[in-house]
């Protein structure tokens, strides 16, 4: 039914014609890494110019990435998958692995997203973190993240990808806990780290399975070999990869860390926890497309996980009052869309990446907008204490509005082009699946419209509900527009939010661009006619937005959250996901640890320290004999001689 070009597994032979940019592709990883090293090693002496070095390194990667893109665009579609070998990494009889970079449309899409949005956020951070004494360290971590993320997407083997995968995990951990003097933030960092480690177990098992099945870990071997491998093994690999993706991309059931990850500085939330790192899971699924093609069950599970997370995030997003946590829930939900699309198989891969790209722009833009709002409102995050800010922060309001319209999927904003395609694709198929997935996607769009509009109206419209000294509710608020260094990235991202989707959708340009990786897919008709789907989507979106307007812009918003319905209360607590995790995993784990520690302390330590105590007591008792007096020693010798003589005599009889 689906015909797919097997180009993903073939590398263009045109290596001889490697261009200037391609030869310097290693700079993509090396430049930010070196910059991070310099910033961390130089310490305070780099405080004055450190952020500019970070920005420079990030910009350099963007330039290199753009150079490679131009290079790639100039060559025919068949030669757009290239591999750049760097060095022989692991060389054993069983495994011969070359560390190399894979330059293809998919990885380049990511490279450009990461470097472009990353550079903008670097620029934004220069101003945002201006008063932070540890700004240099912040930029070092950001550069480390950029390097790791680029390694992740450029790696030509699963093992090298795993290195980047862990690198972004580390950077994420460091940045969530950037203000680790606040215990709650440090805990949030730990939570993210631990949940990611759980997912990494899946990744490691997947690596092991791949090695045992295909005898290699590079993409070429694995993806080519998956055509012949048994379905059982492919399903196992696919599910393990899905587990890894769930952790990294905050998908059900490993999504709980993302909300807490908002403890990090806002630029971090924008770059890592909205635009790039959390989408690594989607990248992994799409990159492993051939594996999932051979494992329909795993693919179905991917779609189900995506659908669940989509609704989950949307519902949680409706109840949160913290502006960043609402955005985090929205991110979760949007990645759910991407996973759903990826779970639909080759038909959805391109749309998943398309939505990922547009989402990277508008979500990053909105996060930066949220950071700008916080910047002007004394770092306040409670939306019930905002309101009416549109008058004071014109640029923020406009740019945020562009992001808002994009995520709602209002034509012709970016989100419309990608999200609508996903909803359409969700309706493609046979049996119960299109109906369920399609409905979920459709419903999700409506809910998304509601909570995003709620956020938008509560923040920028309605009455002013600011805290004031007089009421004793907090500091007096004097909202103001952020400096140019902050608004500039927001404007650029807003432009992307408005136009990127439309530009890339012209003549299915982006989908065609990705074809060397995702394969060419014939168009399939959904179970419901496309115009009907489109119309239903728009109606639902408008309905959601209207409800939000009626409740949060037209009427007064209580400054203290009302008790709310059962669902609201559950959503406020992330649908009890934390409680489930605590009850099912954390508590038993703690009991297990505690009993093990107890056993260790009493039995093992007791035995060994008892042994130690015995011998040291013995030593202490015997030390009395070693008093250093020659005469005592002489007496002891005499005693010894007497004893020996007596024994000898006694034996002789």
Partner 1 sequence: MEVGNYLYLAMILFAIGATTVMLRRSAIIAFMGVELMLNAANLAFVTFARIHGDLSGQVIAFFVMVVAAAEVVVGLAIIVAIFRTRKSASVDDVNLLKG
Partner 2 sequence: MMTSTGEAVLFWVLAPAMVLGALGLVFARKAVYAALSMIFVMVCLAMVYVMQQAEFLGIVQVVVYTGAVMMLFVFVLMLVGVDASTSAVETIKGQRWIGILMGVGLGTLLVTVTARAALPETVGLDEANSETNPAGLARVLMSDFVLDLEIVATLLVTAALAALVLTHRRRLTPKIGQPERAAARMLAGDHPVNLPAPGVYARHNAMDVPALDPEGNPIEASVSRVLRIRGQEHSLDTDVTTLVATRDAAELTGDHGTDTAAERGGQNDDTDAATTEGEA
- State the residues that interact with partner 2 by CB under 8 A: 627, 629, 631-632, 635, 638-639, 641-642, 645-646, 649
| Dihedral angle sign, alpha carbons of residues 371, 375, 381, 385 | negative
Number of residues counted as binding partner 1 (CB under 8 A): 11
Return the sign of the alpha-carbon dihedral for residues 490, 494, 496, 501.
positive
Q: Give the H or E element holding residue 83.
A: strand 82-91
Side-chain-side CA neighbours of residue 343 (13 Å): 35
628 interface partner picked from partner 1, partner 2, none, CB below 5 to 8 A per type: partner 1
Counting contacts by CB under 8 A, is residue 49 touching partner 1? no
Toward partner 2, which CB reaches closer, 468 or 632? 632
Task: Output the smallest distance, CB 633 to partner 1, in A.
Answer: 7
Count of alpha carbons within 13 angstroms of residue 329, beta-carbon side: 27
Binding partner 1 by CB under 8 A: which of 623, 640, 645, 647?
623
Distance, in Å, from the CA atom of 198 to the CA atom of 254, rounded to the nearest integer, reads 9
**Interface region with partner 1, contact rule CB under 8 A, candidates 16-24, 281-289, 519-527, 622-630:** 622-630
Separation between Cα atoms, residue 244 and residue 199, nearest integer Å: 4
- Those residues whose C-beta lies under 8 Å from the C-beta of residue 567, and which sit 6 or more positions away, are 315
Q: Does 621 bind partner 1 (CB under 8 A)?
A: no
Please pick, from the candidates 74, 629, 651, 653, the single residue that binds partner 1 as defined by CB under 8 A. Answer: 629
Binding of partner 1 by 638 (CB under 8 A): yes
Q: Residue 79 and residue 393: Cα distance in Å, rounded?
A: 48
Partner in contact with 539, chosen from partner 2, partner 1, none, beta carbon below 5 to 8 Å by kind: none
**Phi/psi-derived region of residue 430, left when phi > 0, alpha when psi is between -120 and 50, beta in every other case:** beta
Residue 470 contacts which entry, partner 1, partner 2, none (Cβ below 5-8 A, type-dependent): none
Structure tokens at 407: 């995520």
Q: How far apart are CA 7 and CA 516, in angstroms?
A: 6
Q: From the list partner 1, partner 2, none, pick the one residue 626 interacts with, judged by a Cβ distance below 5 to 8 Å according to partner type.
A: partner 1
Choose between 618 and 642: whose C-beta lies nearer to partner 2.
Answer: 642
- Output the smallest distance, CB 653 to partner 1, in A: 21
> Considering beta carbons, is residue 470 or 649 the nearer one to partner 1?
649
Q: Which is nearer to partner 1, 539 or 637 (CB)?
A: 637
Q: How far apart are CA 521 and CA 289, in angstroms?
A: 13
The DSSP bridge partners found for residue 88 are 98
- Tokens standing for 640? 């010894």
Residues from 52 through 71 that contact partner 1 (CB under 8 A): none
Residue 591 site contact among partner 2, partner 1, none (CB < 5 to 8 Å, cut-off depends on kind): none
Instruction: Please list every residue from 460 through 519 that binds partner 1, using CB under 8 A.
Output: none
Stretch that binds partner 1, among 425-433, 532-540, 566-574, 621-629 (CB under 8 A): 621-629
Which of partner 1, partner 2, none is residue 649 near (CB under 5 to 8 Å by kind)?
Answer: partner 2
**Cβ 647 to partner 2, closest distance in Å?**
11
633 binds, among partner 1, partner 2, none (CB under 5 to 8 A by kind): partner 1
Q: Interface with partner 1 includes 627 (CB under 8 A)?
A: yes
623 binds, among partner 1, partner 2, none (CB under 5 to 8 A by kind): partner 1
Token pair for residue 43? 């310490």
645 contact choice in partner 2, partner 1, none (CB below 5 to 8 Å, kind-dependent): partner 2
Q: Give the one residue of 628, 648, 649, 651 binding partner 1; rule: CB under 8 A.
A: 628
Which value, to the nearest 10 degrees, does the dihedral of the CA atoms of residues 239, 241, 244, 245 take?
Answer: -100
Whether 171 contacts 272, CB under 8 Å = yes
Is there binding between residue 616 and partner 1 (CB under 8 A)? no
Between 607 and 638, CB nearer to partner 1: 638
Q: Least distance (Å) from partner 1 to the CB of residue 648?
A: 16
The partner in contact with residue 630, picked from partner 1, partner 2, none with C-beta cut-offs of 5 to 8 angstroms by kind, is: partner 1
DSSP character string of 538-549: HHHHHHHHHHHI
Residues 6+ apart with CB under 8 A from 68: 21, 22, 25, 103, 108, 111
Binding of residue 620 to partner 1 (CB under 8 A)? no
Residue 206's Cβ-count burial label (10 Å; 0-12, 13-18, 19+) is buried
Task: Please provide the size of the chain in residues.
Answer: 653
Residue placing its CB nearer to partner 2 in the complex, 470 or 649? 649
* CA 359 – CA 366 distance, rounded (Å): 10
What's the CA gap between 337 and 351, in Å, rounded? 10
Site residues, partner 1 (CB under 8 A)? 623, 626-631, 633-635, 638
């Amino acid at each position: 039914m689906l015909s797919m070009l097997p180009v993903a597994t073939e590398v263009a032979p045109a290596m001889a014609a490697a261009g200037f940019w391609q030869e310097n592709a290693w700079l993509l990883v090396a430049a930010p890494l070196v910059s991070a090293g310099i910033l961390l090693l130089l310490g305070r002496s780099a405080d004055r110019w450190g952020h500019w070095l970070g920005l420079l390194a990030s910009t350099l990667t963007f330039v290199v990435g753009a150079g490679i893109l131009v290079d790639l665009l100039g060559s025919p579609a068949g030669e757009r998958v290239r591999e750049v070998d760097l060095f022989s990494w692991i060389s054993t009889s069983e495994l011969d692995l070359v560390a190399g970079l894979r330059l293809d449309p998919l990885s380049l899409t990511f490279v450009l997203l990461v470097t472009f949005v990353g550079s903008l956020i670097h620029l934004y951070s220069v101003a945002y973190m201006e008063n932070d004494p540890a700004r240099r360290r912040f930029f070092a971590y950001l550069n480390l993240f950029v390097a790791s993320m680029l390694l992740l997407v450029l790696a030509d083997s699963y093992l090298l990808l795993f290195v980047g995968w862990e690198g972004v995990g580390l950077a994420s951990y460091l940045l969530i806990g950037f203000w680790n003097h606040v215990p709650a933030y440090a805990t949030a960092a730990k939570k993210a780290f631990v949940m990611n480690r759980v997912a990494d177990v899946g990744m490691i098992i997947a690596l092991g399975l791949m090695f045992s099945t295909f005898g290699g870990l590079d993409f070429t071997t694995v993806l080519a070999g998956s055509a012949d491998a048994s379905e059982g093994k492919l399903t196992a690999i696919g599910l393990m990869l899905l587990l890894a993706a769930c952790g990294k991309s905050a998908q059900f059931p490993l999504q709980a860390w993302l909300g807490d990850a908002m403890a990090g500085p806002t630029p971090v939330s924008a770059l890592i926890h909205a635009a790039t790192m959390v989408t690594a899971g989607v990248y992994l699924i799409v990159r492993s497309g051939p594996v999932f093609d051979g494992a329909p069950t795993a693919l179905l599970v991917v779609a189900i996980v995506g659908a669940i997370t989509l609704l989950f995030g949307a519902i949680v997003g409706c109840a949160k009052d913290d502006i960043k946590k609402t955005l985090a829930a929205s991110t979760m939900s949007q990645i759910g869309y991407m996973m759903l699309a990826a779970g639909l198989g080759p038909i959805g891969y391109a749309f998943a990446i398309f939505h990922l790209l547009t989402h990277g722009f508008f979500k990053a833009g909105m996060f930066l907008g949220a950071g700008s709002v916080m910047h002007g409102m004394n770092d306040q995050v409670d939306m019930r204490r905002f309101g009416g800010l549109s008058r004071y922060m014109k640029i923020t309001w406009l740019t945020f509005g562009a992001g808002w319209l994009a995520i709602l999927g209002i034509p012709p904003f970016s989100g419309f082009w990608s999200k609508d395609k996903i909803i359409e694709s969700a309706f493609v198929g046979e049996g119960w699946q299109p109906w369920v997935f399609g409905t979920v996607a459709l419903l999700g769009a409506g809910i998304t419209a509601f909570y995003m509009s709620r956020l938008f109206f509560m923040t920028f419209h309605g009455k002013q509900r600011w805290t004031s000294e007089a009421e004793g509710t907090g500091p007096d608020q004097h909202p103001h527009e952020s400096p140019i260094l902050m608004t500039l990235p927001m404007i650029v991202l807003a432009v992307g939010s408005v136009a990127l989707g439309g530009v890339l959708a012209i003549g299915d340009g982006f989908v065609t661009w990705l074809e060397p990786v995702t394969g060419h897919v014939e168009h399939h008709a959904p179970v419901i006619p496309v115009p009907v789907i489109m119309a239903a989507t728009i109606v639902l979106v408008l309905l959601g937005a209207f409800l939000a307007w009626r409740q949060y812009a037209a009427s007064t918003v209580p400054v203290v959250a009302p008790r709310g319905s059962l669902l609201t209360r559950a959503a406020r607590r992330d649908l009890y996901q934390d409680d489930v995790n605590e009850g099912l995993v954390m508590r038993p784990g703690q009991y297990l640890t505690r009993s093990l520690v107890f056993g260790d302390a009493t039995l093992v330590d007791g035995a060994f320290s008892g042994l130690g105590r015995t011998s040291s007591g013995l030593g202490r008792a015997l030390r009395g004999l070693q008093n250093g007096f020659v005469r005592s020693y002489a007496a002891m010798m005499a005693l010894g001689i007497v004893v020996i003589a007596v024994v000898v005599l006694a034996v002789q009889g």
